[in-house]
Every structure is written in C-alpha cells, then in structure tokens.
Structure 1
Amino acid sequence: MALPLLFLLPLLLFSSPALSAVTVTHLPGFNGPLPFHLETGYISVDEVNGVELFYYFIESERNPKEDPLILWHNGGPGCSAFSGLAFEIGPLKFVSKKYDGSIPSLVYNRYAWTKVANVIFLDSPVGTGFSFSRNPEGYVVDDTITSKQAYEFLRKWLVEHPRFISSHLYLAGDSFGGKIVPIVASIVAKGIEDGHRPLVNLKGYLVGNPRTGEFVDFNSRVAFAHAMGIISDELYEAIQRYCEGEDYKNPNPHNLPCNSVLNKFATFEDELDMSYILDPKCPIASPRTERMFGNRYLQEEHSEIMLPPPVVPGLKCRSYAYFLSYYWSNDYHTREALHVKKGTVGEWVRCNKSLAYTQNVQSSVEYHLNVTTKGYRALVYSGDHDMGIPSIGTQAWIRSLNYSIVDDWRSWHVADQIVAGYTRKYSHNLTFATVKDAGHTAPEYQPKNCLIMFNRWISHDSL
C-alpha cells in the first residue's frame, strides 16, 4: 500500500508534540463568534513513532457537566471526523452555493447532537484528517492497533479533562467506524475490569449502518435490491442459486455462473448512489489517490487554497458540500484557526483512500456480543435507503447473537405521530432502529429525527 510522501518533510517543520488543547472562538466562513464551545488539539498515542491524533471537541449546549460524553469515529477507514462534525451530528454545516473563490460559508446546525451531549470527533486512524506520524512506520496500522490507539487517546484526553471522567461515556460511529466502535468498547470494558486509570464511566455504544467484516455486510445488497424493486425475481433467484456460500464482493473466480449473474447485478449497482438510492448518482468529490500525496504542500506563508478534486459534482449534488469542505480545510486561515501543526499534513482530504491499513479483525460481531453481555447498552441504527450496508444485513448479524426479543417490531414516531422508522429491542440492552428515508450516514439525511432518536436513547426513554 502507498505511504504518504509527507514523511519526507523535514522534522524541523513539526512543532512541539506537547501542544495543549486550544479553544476556538471563530472559524473562517462562519459569521461571528461560534455559538458553542469548540476545542481542538492533539493527543500522542505512539511515542515511539510520534503518532498524534487530532480531535475536535464540542461541549454540550445544554449542560456539559450533566450530559454524556461521546467519542465519535467516522468511516472509511480514513474519513476525517470533520465529516461527522459538518455533515452529520455536529453544529456546523456548509452552505451549498457555487464556489466563487472565497472561503466556503458555514452556518449553525440546530439538529446537532451537541445540543444534548459533549462530543469528541476523532481523526482516526492515523493518516486521517489532520492526524499524523513523524515516523513512516507509524502509518502502518490495522483494526487492532487503531482500536488500542483510540483507547490510549481516550484515557489521555480524560486525564487532561478531569471534569469529564465521571460523565456517562458512549462510543459512537458509523460505516467502518461502526466496525471499530465495538472493538474499542471491548478494550475499554476490559480496562475497567483491570482497574485502568482513569476509571472511565462507560455506559454503552451506538453504531449506524455499521460494517462488521461479515459477508452479510455486502451480500445483503442483493436482497435489498430485490426488495426495493431494483432487480428482477429471476436475477435474484439466479444469484441465490449460483452464488450460495460465496462472498459476493470477492467470489471464487472459477465459479463462472456466479460471476456472470453478479456482473449483471453490478450493472444495476453502478447506476445508483449506493449511499442513498433516491439521490442522483454524483461524483464523490474526493481526489484521486495519486494526487493525495504528491509534491504539493500547503504554502503556510499565505492563504492560497489547494487545487480541488479532479471531478467537481453538480451544485444540486449532496456531494457538492464535500467539495466545499476540501477548499475550506485546505485554506491557510482555517488551519490557523484550528491550530493545525504546520508541516504535518500536506493536503487535507475528506476520505484518505491511501492509508497503509490492514483489516485484521475478520468480524466485529463477537465484540458486539462481548460488550452487550457485560451489561453495556447498544443502539444499532440503519438508514433504510442505504444500499452500501443495508439494514437487511445488519438485522441478520443481530439475529446471529441469539438474543431474545423484549419489545417486538414496531414503528417509532416523532411529532404528530409521524413514523420516523421502525425498532425492535432485544435482551442485553440491545436496540435496533431503522431511520425512515435516510441513507448510509443517517443523520446527514434525517438530522431532526436522528437527534430525537439519539436523545431518547441516551435518556433511557423508549424510541
């Protein structure tokens, strides 16, 4: 796997690793002072290689002392936590208007989860967002190393923020972050059992449209496509017949009948936005791998913005806001405001697809089992129009836990008894919920309803 050329930057470009957390009161593109408390900083998680993870911390706007603490992981692996902050559950969002050369505009998101919780948005694994390593070896990570570094981050962050040590702690994330979260939760739970200090107050975790590593994550796309009327009965039945026992993403190349029908299925997939099948298919607004770590470094002495991704999405595309985030994060004034260490990251990309990352945990399902049987709470939610990690597959691995049903399938509602999705509660404090008319990152598509869902769950109320 390719390694970033930023390793070649002279060490003198790096500022002191002991940089303390900094309060940010103003951000480029946002009119006036921020109406919430934002802090950014770094935590060292590997002193041998000089690995430092960057984070954004936003205090609850309701009652920071009493409200829970959330450690948020984004997907990828390699998608910056800023995606979670600006496109999902944070108090900022971009104004999607045509880029005119000025810094993109940000406005307040009134459906942020930070209305009711303290949230740490973590750029993890290293190489994601503004997280970096001084040593090239530090970038070579896997599921296990990443999860252990997240735990190291959490412990050190709490030492630096002792007033949150007693806060109810929940780990959260979606997509690939949803695979990492139960692994981290298992490590945290073991640390509590072993008496690690500080003694954190873990209460549970929540994951959205989560990866597990199981075949069902992707194989369920076929059943989803059939249920949504995307493929015919005949193609569905042919895939069932010829591909039994196969990993649909990587079938046996010698199983020619299976490969043939999966190729037909792929033609239908290619026409759709897999994250939300009702959206038009648009460019993802991420730069090509070969551009991400080229010999072009940010000119720290002036405010030039780096070149945009090679394919610009249309203004009406949801991904246009992703395109704007690229301009915003690579502006010198933005980096100054966030207190990004100079010379550490040459080019910010929303999702770094060039990580030296190994998925060494075959399945996270055993970690879900481990954590929930210890009494910790879990919420698994799925946007019901996501074809990337369909709710059908998520329900399948939940059933494999063999938990009894405590509250059977029913609708859950928001104001005026509007159906917002469907839910089922299992033993061992496990709740599953769908979010109606939502995609892969559910809060991005249904921000109000997801805030209601989240607030009810952390408040121990019924959905």
Structure 2
Amino acid sequence: MSSSSFSLLFIAIFLVSFSQISLSLSSKFFLPSHNDNVEHVISPKKFPITMAEKFIRQLNLFPKHDINIVSSKENIFNNYEEKLFEKKLNLSYIGDSGSTVQDLGHHAGYFPLVHTKSARMFYFFFESRSNKNDPVVIWLTGGPGCSSELALFYENGPFKISDNMSLVWNDYGWDKVSNLIYVDQPTGTGFSYTSDESDIRHDETGVSNDLYDFLQAFFKAHPEYVKNDFYITGESYAGHYIPAFASRVHRGNKNKEGIHINLKGFAIGNGLTNPEIQYKAYTEYALDMKLIDQDDYDNINKLYPQCQKDIKLCANGSEDACLTGFSDCTGIFNRILDIAGNINYYDIRKTCQGSLCYDFSRMDTYLNDNQVKKSLGVPNDIDFVSCSSSVYQAMEMDWMKNLEVPIPPLLEDGINLLIYAGEYDLICNWLGNSNWVHAVQWSGKKGFGAAPSVPFTVDGEEKGIQKSYGPLTFLKVHDAGHMVPMDQPKAALEMLQRWTQGKLS
C-alpha cells in the first residue's frame, strides 16, 4: 500500500480505485488508498469499507465508531421536536479575536431532520467578527463521510487547535467577513446521528433535501439573518453536494416553500463535479507536471474510453455501470500513482512521511473530550466520527454522477458560481475543473471562453489566475494543493470577501 493523504472539503476528497477507495479530507475529502495487487478484484459491493477504514487510520484518525447510529431505546433527546436544539458555546480561546463585537455569537446545536425517522444534524454557527449584516456562508466538507470540523479547525474556521489542545484564534478565519455555518452531513458523519439505518443517504436528492430542511429551521430560529445574502461553499466531494444543494434552495425559493433564502452564489474548491471531463484530464495534468512521460500518457489514455462509456451508462440509470465506472475510471488515477511513486496526491510538491501525509489527530482528541462535548450540547453517548467509511460506502452509486447538470439554470438566473482550485492538487486538479467549467452549456459559454485570464493579487502579490464572465468565475490558486484555505489562508479569505462583495471579477 502506498502512502495516502487526506483532503477536506477537505477537506472536503475523492477518486481512488477499487483498490484505492478510502476517505479524504476537504472539506473537503476523497478517501483514496493504493494497492497494486487487488485492482479489479475486490467486489464492488465490499471494496469501500476496508480501504476507507485503513485510510482513516493512516491519517492518524481513530474514531471509536464507524458511524453514529444509536439504539432507539437510548432515547438521547426525550422530545423529538421539529426545531433546533442550540446552545451558546462556553469554550476558552487564546489570543485576541480581532473583533470589535464584544459578545461574539458562537453556537452549536442539533436539528431533528423532519423527513427522516430519527436523524439529527449537528452544526456550528459563528457570527461574523465584523458585522452581523455580513453574508451567511455555509461550508460542506467532502469525503463523502468526513466531518466539516476538518475545515473548521484546519482550514477556515475561527480558530485552530494548538499543541496543548487549546483553541487559538485564526487570523484568516472566514468568520472575519461572514456569518459562518459548518454542518456534519450526511447523517452519521461527525456528531450527526440517527437510530434508524434507513436515514442514511445514498444520493444527492436525500443529501440536498436534508440540508434544505436544516436551512429552513436555522433561519426560523435566527430570523435576523434571513435578509442577509446567502452563499454555499465547500470542497472535494462537496463538488457533488453543492450544485444539488444550490439547486434545491433555488427551487424552494421559486416554489415559495417556507422561508425565502437569499441565495446569491455557490463556490466549489478542488471539487469532483463532472467525472467524465475530470478523469480525462488526469493524464494531461500529470504530463504537464512531469509525473509521467509521453509514453505513459499514451498508454494510460487507452483506459479512458471504457471509463467514459461507464459514466454515460451510469447517467442513463445503470447501477452496474456506476460501480464498474468507479473501478475503470480510478484505474487511470492508479496508473499515474504507480509511476509517480510516493507523492502526496493532494499536494504533489510533497511526499508523505511514512503512511501519514496529514495529521488531524488533535481534532479527534479535542472533540471527544467530555467537557467539550458538554459545551457543544452533544450527548455523552455520542462520539465524534471524523470520517465514516459506512457513509462513504452508502454514497458509492453517487460517485460517477455528473453534478454539472443542475448548474446552467442557476447561472441563467444570475446565481454566482466560483470554482477555485489549488494548482498542486492531483486528485481534483485545476485542469479538470477548468475543463468542465469551460464546457458548461449556458448562454454565457462563448463569453466565458473568450474572457481574458488575469492575475488575482493580494497585497500586490500574485496569488492566482482568474477568469470571469457574468456570474461565473474560475480561479487557479498558486502555491496551494487540495485544501486552499489551509495552504493559502490569507488569499482564501480575500477571495471569499471579494466574491461575496461582487468585487472578484
């Protein structure tokens, strides 16, 4: 097994092969691992769990449970009410928040998902350090099955966890320019839980409906934020979640369902959105970055036609093709790794030390502390599941779906879209993301294609290259891998602020 890494978003992380599947962080995260000897041998109905569990351990994450499914007789909350159960955080922070607001509103809570048997979604909410009229921004980490606390503590949250397990203010937390929400989803991830396995989601319809129900409850509990601009953000496998969620919110607004949500835009960082285009870009990116040579490029490209065929059949409803497509397509990625060797495929500038490419263990330790859980309003019987291989497996039929499909109607209605990508990420590389963005069929396609690429500068220093037309912006971020807010925190904060203020383009 070669070295593995994690991605939020993020950390929030994705693509791997039959032999490679595991979880990734990103928020955003795809969870891959690599084993040359088992490719195309593991049963598609069994492959994710074992590999995902191994990957989680290699990331120095050791959740006590694989998924938060509790016994119904435990009856953790006595009353199943269709409203938020929320409390203000009572945690100590080291340093100066940099805020002019004396009493910052930091909250955590649960929402009983109304269209489930017994699921409860956990979330954090941080009021802006600057102005409560700032936009409301929600962050979704990928996996599928990784907690958004990965981004909270290691990327763009208000604080980070120090060596002595204290919370230290993050000078570039996104709460400096927004009211910020992090959600543990799908059900079973992080502190979110259920007592009924039927509540575990398998597709974007279930995921987006749960998130929409949560938003309705959130704005009902916090009506002072209903008028604020609202943005959806995230990374990695959230490249699937976010378009579906944005479409669900937009549809709810049009149909006058519940509270009108002031959706202004959605942003995807190093995401997996259109597999057919993004898998094709692997070899070109690898060749450009000198991970493979021309002969390797020619040979590996012979694998793509079958991958493409599977994806098209998957889109037409073939479940078998969705599964075989995962194997056939990630075989392309595996072949590149065979040749490239011990690289961190979330940041190809780096190699992994032993089996660890990132160490997120402080988060597990901190969030499973009983006093911390008490402050968050988490029942003692619930443990923090940093990444769930069961949630990951439950979404296996969703991987090869094209989530670019719901995007054109959103663009046509003026909903802003920002796609950004760190230039040194292999697994959700900038080239594949750029290619699918240029291929989107909307009225501004020609205008976007003809638009100039211009520098993205922060304090006079070039931090990326951006391209914009109408509501669509693509930004390639310099000196960053899969988790842009972790690698380039100042530039990421500036990106968010300009974008939400309409100044990025």
Fold-level similarity (TM above 0.5): yes
Gaps of 5+ in 2: 1-45, 50-65, 312-320
Q: Give aligned-pair identity as a percent.
A: 27
The correspondence for 2:306, drawn from 238, 241, 246, is 246
1:305 maps to which residue?
A: none
Query: How far did residue 246 of structure 1 move?
Result: 3.2
Query: How far did residue 168 of structure 1 move?
Result: 0.5
Give me the whole-angstrom Cα distance separating, in 1, the residues matched to 2:287 and 2:408: 30
**1:331 aligned onto 2:373:** no
Give me the whole-angstrom Cα distance separating, in 1, the residues matched to 2:168 and 2:298: 48
The correspondence for 1:433, drawn from 475, 481, 485, is 475
Mapping of 1:446-461 within 5 angstroms?
446-461=488-503
2:149 maps to which residue?
A: 82
Give me the whole-angstrom Cα distance separating, in 2, the residues matched to 1:370 and 1:5: 36
In the alignment, residue 408 of structure 1 is paired with which amino acid? P
2:250 maps to which residue?
A: 189
Query: How far did residue 172 of structure 1 move?
Result: 1.0
2:54 maps to which residue?
A: none
Give me the whole-angstrom Cα distance separating, in 2, the residues matched to 1:206 and 1:112: 17
| Preserved contact between residue 282 and residue 332 of structure 2 (Cα < 8 Å) | no
Aligned length: 413
More displaced stretch, 104-113 vs 118-127 = 104-113
**1:176 aligned onto 2:241:** no
1:388 maps to which residue?
A: 427
Query: How far did residue 262 of structure 1 move?
Result: 7.0
Query: How far did residue 260 of structure 1 move?
Result: 9.6
2:390 maps to which residue?
A: 354
Give me the whole-angstrom Cα distance separating, in 2, the residues matched to 1:261 and 1:387: 12
Mapping of 1:133-282 within 5 angstroms?
133-240=194-301, 242-247=302-307, 264-282=335-353
Mapping of 1:60-139 within 5 angstroms?
60-64=128-132, 66-95=133-162, 97=163, 104-139=165-200
The correspondence for 2:380, drawn from 327, 342, 359, is 342
1:335 to 1:249, Cα distance in 2 relative to 1, 3 A: farther
1:243 to 1:383, Cα distance in 2 relative to 1, 3 A: same
1:401 to 1:387, Cα distance in 2 relative to 1, 3 A: same
1:378 to 1:229, Cα distance in 2 relative to 1, 3 A: same
In the alignment, residue 111 of structure 2 is paired with which amino acid? I
**1:409 aligned onto 2:476:** no
1:5 to 1:188, Cα distance in 2 relative to 1, 3 A: closer
1:298 maps to which residue?
A: none
| Preserved contact between residue 218 and residue 389 of structure 1 (Cα < 8 Å) | no
In the alignment, residue 166 of structure 1 is paired with which amino acid? K
1:277 to 1:250, Cα distance in 2 relative to 1, 3 A: farther
Give me the whole-angstrom Cα distance separating, in 2, the residues matched to 1:168 and 1:68: 5
Give me the whole-angstrom Cα distance separating, in 2, the residues matched to 1:374 and 1:170: 15
1:13 to 1:33, Cα distance in 2 relative to 1, 3 A: farther
1:41 maps to which residue?
A: 109
The correspondence for 1:422, drawn from 451, 461, 465, is 465
1:259 to 1:435, Cα distance in 2 relative to 1, 3 A: closer
2:73 maps to which residue?
A: 10
Give me the whole-angstrom Cα distance separating, in 2, the residues matched to 1:331 and 1:261: 42
More displaced stretch, 379-388 vs 259-268 = 259-268
Gaps of 5+ in 1: 98-102, 285-312
- Over aligned residue pairs, what C-alpha RMSD do you find? 2.8
TM-score normalised per structure 1: 0.82
Give me the whole-angstrom Cα distance separating, in 2, the residues matched to 1:15 and 1:162: 26
SS in 1 for 2:390: coil
Give me the whole-angstrom Cα distance separating, in 1, the residues matched to 2:70 and 2:481: 37
SS in 2 for 1:380: strand
1:134 to 1:47, Cα distance in 2 relative to 1, 3 A: farther
Query: How far did residue 141 of structure 1 move?
Result: 3.4
**1:239-279: per-residue Cα shift (whole Å, max 9, x none)?**
23x234232998999xxx99998765231355111111112
1:237 to 1:149, Cα distance in 2 relative to 1, 3 A: same
More displaced stretch, 270-279 vs 11-20 = 11-20
Query: How far did residue 283 of structure 1 move?
Result: 6.7
**1:83-106: per-residue Cα shift (whole Å, max 9, x none)?**
1211111111122x4xxxxx6232
1:418 to 1:42, Cα distance in 2 relative to 1, 3 A: same
1:400 maps to which residue?
A: 439
The correspondence for 2:90, drawn from 25, 30, 43, is 25
Give me the whole-angstrom Cα distance separating, in 2, the residues matched to 1:329 and 1:397: 38
In the alignment, residue 412 of structure 1 is paired with which amino acid? F
Query: How far did residue 7 of structure 1 move?
Result: 3.5
